[in-house]
Structure formats: C-alpha cells, structure tokens
C-alpha cells in the first residue's frame, strides 16, 4: 500500500520547510525510521525519517524547493505497485528557490518540464525567490513591436545577472539579442530595473559586483544582487516584526565596573585553564541571579495574563552564517559558571552546524546578546517575543572612575536592557539592573546565592 510522504512539522514554529538534501534516490529501499531527507526549518536543518518500509517511488519536491506543512513531497510504496492515483491527488509542485548554479539548472530544467509549467501559474512568490524558468518571466517584458528574440545563452546570462532584456537591443539577425550584447551590457554596467524576478546565482553575482569596480561611469542606482532568503533569515524577519512593532520597548542603560568580575575570570581560568571561562559566562550567571532576585522581570505578556516563570532559562544570542539564533541555558540559576560555559560552547557549536533541536532554541524566559567582541560600546537589542526583556552587553573598556574621592582606572561595561512595558515597568526594570550591577561588581554574592 503506497503512502504519501508529507512535509512534517519539525519545529513548533515551523510553517513551511525547504528541502535541503535528499538522502535517498528514487528507487532506493527505505525502512521505517531511516532518514530520507534533510529539511531546512526556520531555525535548523532536521532529518526527516521514513514512516514505513518500502521503496522511495517518487520524489515530488527537489532540493532547494519549499513546501508548506502537509504538502505531499514524496511517495513510498512497493517497487511495482501503481502509484498514479496517489500522484494525481498530490497537489502541484511548490515554488522553487533559485539557489542552483547555472550548470545544474540546465539539468533540472530537463528533468522537470511539468514543474516549470506549474511554476508559471504559481508565480505568487511569498519570498524573493525567482521563477526557475527565466525565459517565461522575460517573455512578459516584450518590446513594443512584439516578441523578444534572444539566444538561449544570452537569455540565461541576462537572467543570472539581473539584466532586463527589454532594455537591450540585439545585434543578431532580426534583432536577436546574443551573448555579445549581454557581455557588452554587463561591461558598461547597464542599469537594471529593480526586477523582483532577478535572482542571480553565486557565479553571476561575482560578475555584477565586479562590474561597478570596472566602470568609470557611476550614475543612477547602484547595481545590486538579490540573494534568496534562507528559512532562518525569513523567520528572523517575521518574528522581529512581531516584536519591535507591537511590543512597546523601553531601554535602560547602566555602566558596570568589571574589575572584580575580571579578577574572578582570571582566577577561575587559573584553576581550570582548559575551561576558558569568559566574561560572558559570568554575565549569564549574574543575569540568572538577578532574575531570581527580581522575579517580576522573568515575565511574558500572554494577552490575558502576565506569565511569571519559575526558572531562569536564558537565551544566549549566537551569530551563525545563516543568522541569529538563541540556544537556551535552562535553569541557569542552578548551574555553575563552568557548567554554563560548557553548555554555551556546546550549544553554540551545534547552532553553527544547524544541528539544534527546537527544544534547545525556543522557550527562553530572558535573553542576553553580547556584541562586546565586535567593539560595540553599547546597543539596544530587540526583545525576542514572548519574553519580557533582553539585556544587550557592550565592550569592556578601561575608563577613569571616581572612587573614594580619587580618580582610578576601572574596566567598565555598558549594558542596556530592553523591556516590554506591558509587563515590566521602569522601576521594575531598573531594580533588575541594579541587582545585575551589584552582583557583577561583587561576584561574591554568587557564592551565597
């Protein structure tokens, strides 16, 4: 009995997935539980497992294509059974991402004439992804006299570099636009109308970004390249719009004297040199401590109620190639600094390799973002909804401070807290900052906590 394989819900916030890589080919035998594909969700790449035994009879979605949850993406069945009824009931192939290099796009064009045909109908692109069949797109931009006559290689080159063919005149017979016309146009840095359909590959983007450097004539809009968004980037975009817009943010800044914290770090690293404790680990611990002291900050706006969390689950912002992700240190108030250090290291490593599970990057009660290593003195961070606040850490810098009526040099750190005013008032936030500052300037509080 053949089965349809549908796009599974692999994370709580997942609404659609992108097929990153098929691990099996059509015709391969699969067994229950065996991974058959890697799927890009909004945050990480996850393996999808076969839910039964059989042969992977038909792949309906190609690498790089996206599909919403529940859409049929493959058929598994016996090697010889008729799967036509199942195929017909599967909705048409989804929109594609033009990530492919030019060479592979030719092969894909031959393999999926049907997909290209449905693509022409489905050009309602939610994202910036371009239709794979550029010739179909370009035929809409015709000259006033009628058809656009272009050689195949010229059409492809134009599509890849985002050139609008209707701006070009062809030097071939009958006005045919030929390869040379595209090469000339690119050399002169021809202006393109910001075509929402242009999505050059990595190879072509090298050309367009190279063109401005060569051309002596710089006028009009800058040449550009459009890069299709990864799932992660789209999710960040979607979620943050639901943050800074609707969430009434306010910001509190304070400057912390870090000398004792720096000494603590030095001391810990003398005892455990392999551990390599950083200031950030101490900060996380201090934040957890301060949250326990100020439980009103460990809060979340839940429409009808304010939710107050019992544990300090701290989301630590990690920058990856694909975007920002915040793996969570659960119950940080119960963990030692070295435990926090190890956990952050492990989670960050897996975050960069896109191997975090959803439980590991969702459900924080408070987040910390540190741009100190990039030399940022201070900044305001955007709250990760539905959390109530986020703490932005700047760079440590030696500054003159007044102590006991004398000027001393102290290592200082500026931190800025962003609060959701629906659940945290100014005084509440300020008290949290005071606690945080107190424990950072006197880390011994951590011992008696």
Applying CB under 8 A, which residues contact other proteins? Answer: 106, 109, 151-154, 156, 171-173, 178-180
Residue with Cβ nearer other proteins (181 or 313)? 181
- Residue 185 C-beta: closest distance to other proteins, Å: 15
Using a 10 angstrom Cβ sphere, with 0-12 exposed, 13-18 middle and 19 or more buried, the burial of residue 135 is middle
| Three-state SS letters, 107-167 | HHHHHCHHHHHHHHHCCCCCCCCCCCCHHHHHCCCCECCECCCECHHHHHHHHHHCCCHHH
Residue with Cβ nearer other proteins (18 or 112)? 112
Rounded Cα–Cα distance for residues 363 and 326 (Å)? 10
- Residue 179 C-beta: closest distance to other proteins, Å: 4
Residue with Cβ nearer other proteins (152 or 206)? 152
CB atoms closer than 10 angstroms to residue 250: 14
CB atoms closer than 10 angstroms to residue 291: 26
- Residue 88 C-beta: closest distance to other proteins, Å: 29
Residue 257 token pair: 């004297």
Rounded Cα–Cα distance for residues 443 and 447 (Å)? 8
Is 249 a known active-site residue?
no
Residue with Cβ nearer other proteins (106 or 442)? 106
- Residue 236 C-beta: closest distance to other proteins, Å: 35
Instruction: Please identify which of the residues 225, 311, 345, 421 carries the catalytic annotation.
Output: 421
- Residue 198 C-beta: closest distance to other proteins, Å: 17
Residue 155 token pair: 């059409």
Rounded Cα–Cα distance for residues 96 and 417 (Å)? 41
Rounded Cα–Cα distance for residues 218 and 213 (Å)? 10
Can you say whether residue 33 is alpha, beta or left, with left for phi > 0 and alpha for psi between -120 and 50 degrees? left
Residue with Cβ nearer other proteins (152 or 295)? 152
- Residue 391 C-beta: closest distance to other proteins, Å: 53
- What ranges in 14-91 are assigned the alpha helix state H? 84-89
Q: Phi and psi at residue 108, in whole multiples of 5°?
A: -65, -35
Residue with Cβ nearer other proteins (181 or 231)? 181
The residues assigned a catalytic role are 421
């Amino acid at each position: 009995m053949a089965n349809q394989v549908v796009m599974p819900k692999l994370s709580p916030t997942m609404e659609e997935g992108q097929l990153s890589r098929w691990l099996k080919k059509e015709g391969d035998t699969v067994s229950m539980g065996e991974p058959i594909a890697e799927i890009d969700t909004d945050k990480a790449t996850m393996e999808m497992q076969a839910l039964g035994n059989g042969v992977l009879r038909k792949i309906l979605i190609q690498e790089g294509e996206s599909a919403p949850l529940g859409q049929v993406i493959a058929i598994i069945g016996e090697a010889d059974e008729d799967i036509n009824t199942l195929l017909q009931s599967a909705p048409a192939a989804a929109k594609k991402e033009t990530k492919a290099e030019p060479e592979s796009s030719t092969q894909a064009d031959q393999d999926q004439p049907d997909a290209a045909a449905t693509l022409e109908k489905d050009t309602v692109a939610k994202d910036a992804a371009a239709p794979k069949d550029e010739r179909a797109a370009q035929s809409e931009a015709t000259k006033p006299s009628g058809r656009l006559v272009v050689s195949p290689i010229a059409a492809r080159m134009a599509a890849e570099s985002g050139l609008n063919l209707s701006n070009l005149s062809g030097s071939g017979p009958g006005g045919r636009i030929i390869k040379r016309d595209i090469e000339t146009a690119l050399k002169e840095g021809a202006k393109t109308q910001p075509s929402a359909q242009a999505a050059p590959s990595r190879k072509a983007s090298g050309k367009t970004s190279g063109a401005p450097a060569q051309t002596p004539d710089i006028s009009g809009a800058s040449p550009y390249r459009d890069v299709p968004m990864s799932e992660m980037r789209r999710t960040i975009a979607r979620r943050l719009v639901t943050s800074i817009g609707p969430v009434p943010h306010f910001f509190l800044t304070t400057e912390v004297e870090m000398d004792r914290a720096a000494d603590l770090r030095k001391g810990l690293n003398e005892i455990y040199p392999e551990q390599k404790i950083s200031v950030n680990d101490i900060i996380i611990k201090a934040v957890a401590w301060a949250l326990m002291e100020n439980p009103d900050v460990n809060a979340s706006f839940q429409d009808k109620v304010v939710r107050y969390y019992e544990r300090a689950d701290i989301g630590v912002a990690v920058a990856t190639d694909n975007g920002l992700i915040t793996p969570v240190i659960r119950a940080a108030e119960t963990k030692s600094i070295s435990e926090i250090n190890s956990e952050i290291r492990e989670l960050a490593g897996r975050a960069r390799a896109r191997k975090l599970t959803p439980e590991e990057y969702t459900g924080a009660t408070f987040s910390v973002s540190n741009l100190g290593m990039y030399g940022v003195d201070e900044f305001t961070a955007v709250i990760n909804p539905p959390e109530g606040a986020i703490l932005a850490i700047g760079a440590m810098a030696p500054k003159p401070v007044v102590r006991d009526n004398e000027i001393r040099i102290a290592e200082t750190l500026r931190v800025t807290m962003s609060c959701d005013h629906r659940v945290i008032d100014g005084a509440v936030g300020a008290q949290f900052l005071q606690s945080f500052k107190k424990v950072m300037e006197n880390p011994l509080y951590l011992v008696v906590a």
